[in-house]
Structure 1
Amino acid sequence: MSSQVRLRLLPRARCMFDEPVQVKVAGLRARQVVTMRARSTDDKGLVFSSSATYKADGSGEIDLERDPSLSGSYVGVEPMGLLWSMRADTLHKRFQIKNSLNPHVVKLSVHREEEEEEEEGEGRMLAEATNERLLIGDGVSRLPIKEGNIRGVLFTPSGRGPFPAVLDLYILGGGLSEKRASLLASRGFVVLTVVAYGYDDMPKKIKGVHLDYFEEAIQLLKKQDKVGSKGVGVLSFSKTGDVALSIASYLPGVEATVCINGCCSNTVLPLYHNKSQILPPLMLDISKMVPTESGAFMSKNVMHNSLAEENKATLVPIEQAKGRFLFVASEDDLNWDSKAYMDQMVERLQHHGKDNFESVSYPGAGHYLEPPYGPYCPSSFHAFGGTTVLWGGEPRSHAAAEVHLWRKIQEFFRTHLSCDAIQIKARL
């Protein structure tokens, strides 16, 4: 490495996963062209990487907030492009960090351009730095839950509270994912993330969704000492979107529900409450899966028509809900037609004279909307569908959508989860 070249991460190299960092390089020759690289390894040992070509200014400096990438994994001015553009060497892999205690460690480096390396070796490293991106904030407690039927993890912020409470539904796909819950708790919410199968002593497979389980989870969450909200929020994504709609529609005590790229019907699995089936499932037609050259399938049109007469019994009666909804749809979702489903939800509520909702859609975003600055995932194995599918999205637009949505979710919950004391100030 060159002793003169410096790679800095501002305001600090250690930050929260959902926080941006400013990447700056100094000590280069005037207008020197270099390659910047990022590299990280997920919980499964898969290596993800990105690279971009930059040209220093007259002072030999590069600032990713100011300077455009000329080529590589992305082009243009993208301050966090090195992080969200990281990809695995093999196709159809999603970056996974499920345990909140494991930080997202990104190795950033600056290299000479290859054509300059005739004598010194290809792409010699000039400087490097490590960005440690934490999934759980200082003072946030993490408590594994095995109480009654509930299996999951409870995250509680530091301080006396009271705090608003959120039930995080990352229940499908088997196993437990803590990332979204721990990050939300780090922003001032008590969050319980639960799992429905494939974890601990739970069944390995799921045959139906039982609202009784979530009713029990809500009661467990509401009795926590630091919880101040009268009701709870529910955060959902994809299939769990219709689960969240059903929770809000059939169970008491739900004040605010976020449905990200969900369906207006109960999908795939029958829905039960008090040992009785209350909604049949909207099923899918596998023959409508479209193969692509990459080996992944496009499944956007596989679901049966939710509005067809024979399927109307699967529609979730969201007009029964007492709380507020935030409907979110990605317009380039290739998993299913999230935008059409969102429009149907809005139309249903308006038809019943309801205005207890807001909606947001993101052009160019794909199905997998997660907390921001993680590697964008265009395709991966669909645990519920049992095959590899395209999620859709244009990387730059998708990354921007994740930044906007993460703030929107926090604002929505803070606004609609009423606490007995003064609302916690947003730490955005």
Structure 2
Amino acid sequence: CFRHHTLFRTKQSVSLESSVCEEMSSQVRLRLLPSTRCLFDEPVQLKVAGLRSRQVVTMRATSSDEKGVVFSSSATYMADGSGEIDLERDPSLRGSYVGVEPMGLLWSMTADTLHKRFQKMYALQPHVVRFSVHEEEGEGKMLAEVTNERLLMADSVTRLPVREGNIRGVLFTPPGGGLFPAVLDLYTFGGGLSEKRAALLASRGFVVLTVALYGHGDMPKNIKEVHLDYFEEAIEFLKKQNKVGSKGVGVISLSKSGDLALSVASYLSGVEATVWINGCSANTALPLYYKKSQILPALMCDFSKVIITKSGAGIGKYAMHNPLAEENKGSLVPIEQAKGRFLFVASEDDLNWDSKAYMNEMVERLKRHGKNNFEGVSYPGAGHYLEPPYGPYCASSFHGFVGKPVLWGGEPRSHTAAEVLMWKKIQEFFRTHLSCDFQTNNKL
């Protein structure tokens, strides 16, 4: 009887322990603070509770972009003595990144195929990320999950497609009765129209017009020349908007559109502040026209100098012709005649071209002309595509001008840190130099 009773109790204990384990698993909680819904450029805090003391788990993030490309990341964590994990406090032991990286699961996401860049072009479509916690052992059973909806546009911002005259773009306007600074977003190269940066800037208190240059709607798919008159028309349209309170406009750019922004600031009136991000100091790729006359020839590149790597992606940093060579100086944008202010932003590990050298050349030129209407910042370890923070870092993708995949440069952690700093710097720059009496909050 005693043996039978002991056996019964042992079986009962095993059954009870099993039941407790199942119950613990079902009690694991994954929390997203302060909310599961936020703007794309806002950090969130991930916390796990209900684990066993010192339990090792894998945390994952998965998402897909507008092209259907799947992006994912994973990192291994150990719970503390209370069975909790806090990504703002605890280090990843291994996985897509190592160390304390509160937003690591977001920026370390990579595509399931080579040479793909994360694309979120349309502001009405949020970046939806699924975070989950999995057992480290066995088949990695999922213990908990939560979905993060990362909005490109604040709920109260208005979005208006623009098709007026030659302009093709989208206008974003903050809510409220106050007046706001105006910004023209020249995210124009690569074809089509990108709304992400413009929508996020509007969510931070700016009236923003983003325009397409080609490949959008009824616009030609390819162009052989650029006309400055198009941007002049866009500036006049922007200045006429009811909620615009700044005397002039700001201009923001990236890559090829960097030299377009320099030309807009140098040749057109009404530009008070220009942000140049990883561009060139000369007009590149396509000749520039104004009032039907060519004002700048195109600085070209030598494709034989593109270095092909084992992955099949090329390095184009050394392919561009030297803009300071005597035969190319005519392509330099005459920024010394600009009346507004410049913010130059350069990545020190840009593999597309030598942005840092172009920035240094422009700074020296402005100094020689007795100008002090500029500030420059460079970021070590950052690559070419500096964008609003917390999107997946892009190591390589297809380059339309080169006609094949290229490496963009940068180390993911350093690149993301640069994006956070740059995004704050850009907003401060525009608020300081776009003179305007406006009523808004930094966060809507």
TM-score (norm: length of structure 2)? 0.94
CA distance in 2, matches of 1:425, 1:152: 26
Kindly report the root-mean-square deviation, in angstroms, between the aligned alpha carbons of the 2 structures: 1.0
- Which of the residues 103, 107, 125 maps onto 2:126? 103
Q: Which runs of 5+ in 1 are unaligned?
A: none
- Which of the residues 423, 429, 436 maps onto 1:406? 423
AA aligned opposite 1:411: E
Q: Which runs of 5+ in 2 are unaligned?
A: 1-21
Cα deviation for residue 405 of structure 1 reads 0.5
Work out whether 1:223 is the aligned partner of 2:240.
yes
Match of 1:296 in 2: 313
Superposed CA deviations along residues 364-422 of structure 1, whole A, max 9, x for unmatched, are: 00000010000000000012322110000000000100011001000000000001x24
TM alignment of 1:19-418, pairs within 5 A: 19-114=42-137, 117=138, 122-418=139-435
Name which of structure 1's ranges 362-371 and 383-392 shifts more when overlaid on structure 2: 383-392
CA distance in 2, matches of 1:359, 1:182: 25
AA aligned opposite 2:58: T
Answer yes or no: is the 8 Å Cα contact 2:166–2:230 preserved in 1. yes
Superposed CA deviations along residues 297-349 of structure 1, whole A, max 9, x for unmatched, are: 01001000110111110100000000000000000000000000000010010
Cα deviation for residue 89 of structure 1 reads 1.3
CA distance in 1, matches of 2:407, 2:302: 17
SS of 1:224's equivalent?
Answer: coil
Distance 1:370 1:207, change over 3 A: same
Cα deviation for residue 161 of structure 1 reads 2.0
Answer yes or no: is the 8 Å Cα contact 1:172–1:384 preserved in 2. no
Match of 2:442 in 1: 426
> Whose helix proportion is higher, 1 or 2?
2
Answer yes or no: is the 8 Å Cα contact 2:303–2:402 preserved in 1. no
AA aligned opposite 1:34: V
SS of 1:231's equivalent?
Answer: strand
CA distance in 1, matches of 2:156, 2:54: 45
CA distance in 2, matches of 1:373, 1:305: 34
AA aligned opposite 2:260: V
SS of 1:237's equivalent?
Answer: coil
CA distance in 1, matches of 2:434, 2:38: 27
Match of 1:6 in 2: 29
Name which of structure 1's ranges 200-209 and 250-259 shifts more when overlaid on structure 2: 200-209
Cα deviation for residue 423 of structure 1 reads 6.0
Answer yes or no: is the 8 Å Cα contact 1:171–1:194 preserved in 2. yes
Answer yes or no: is the 8 Å Cα contact 1:414–1:423 preserved in 2. no
The number of residue pairs the alignment matches comes to: 421
AA aligned opposite 1:107: R
SS of 1:399's equivalent?
Answer: helix
Distance 1:425 1:403, change over 3 A: same
CA distance in 1, matches of 2:86, 2:405: 38
Answer yes or no: is the 8 Å Cα contact 1:105–1:130 preserved in 2. yes
CA distance in 2, matches of 1:360, 1:206: 32
SS of 2:365's equivalent?
Answer: helix
AA aligned opposite 2:243: K
Sequence identity of aligned pairs in percent? 78
SS of 2:209's equivalent?
Answer: strand
SS of 2:198's equivalent?
Answer: helix
CA distance in 1, matches of 2:190, 2:216: 10
CA distance in 2, matches of 1:75, 1:206: 45
SS of 2:360's equivalent?
Answer: helix
Answer yes or no: is the 8 Å Cα contact 2:182–2:206 preserved in 1. yes
Cα deviation for residue 425 of structure 1 reads 4.4
CA distance in 1, matches of 2:326, 2:440: 46
Task: State the structure with more CA Rg.
Answer: 2
